[in-house]
Amino acid sequence: MDIEKETSGGNLRSLFGSDRVNITMLNDELLKHVNDSVVVDFCKLYILLGLCEFFLSNTKGTIHNGLFNVVDNNLGDLCKCNWSGVVC
C-alpha cells in the first residue's frame, strides 16, 4: 500500500477543496456530517481520522493522500491491508 500515492478523485477527497488536507480540516468536515443522512461518508471520515491520528500521525497534521484511496474503496478491504508495513 502506497500512502503517498496521489488520489484519483474519489468521494472523500472531493469533500475538501484544498490540495493539502490536515486534521483540523478533517475534523471540521466530520462535524458537518454528524446529522447527515449519508452514514457511509461519516463512517469513512471517522475511520480516516482514526488512521491519521493513531496509526499515521505526523507533526504537521497532514493527511497522506493515499489514505483517501484506501478508505474510499470498499471498507471491508481495510482488514486486508498490510498495516504493519505502513506503520513501520
Q: Would you state the cell numbers that stand for residue 12, as one nine-digit string?
A: 472523500
In a domain, 7, yes or no: no
3-state secondary structure of 62: strand
In a domain, 8, yes or no: no
Predicted pLDDT at 66: 79
Range with lowest mean pLDDT among 14-23, 55-64, 75-84: 75-84
Tell which residue, 8, 16, 4, has the closest CA to residue 69.
Answer: 8
| Confidence band for 25, pLDDT divided at 50, 70 and 90 | very high
pTM of the model: 0.77
Domains of the chain: total: 1
| Parent domain of 39 | 13-87
Query: How many whole angstroms separate alpha carbon 29 and alpha carbon 69?
Result: 17
In a domain, 34, yes or no: yes
Cα-based angle 3, 61, 18 (whole degrees, multiple of 5): 75
In a domain, 6, yes or no: no
In a domain, 4, yes or no: no
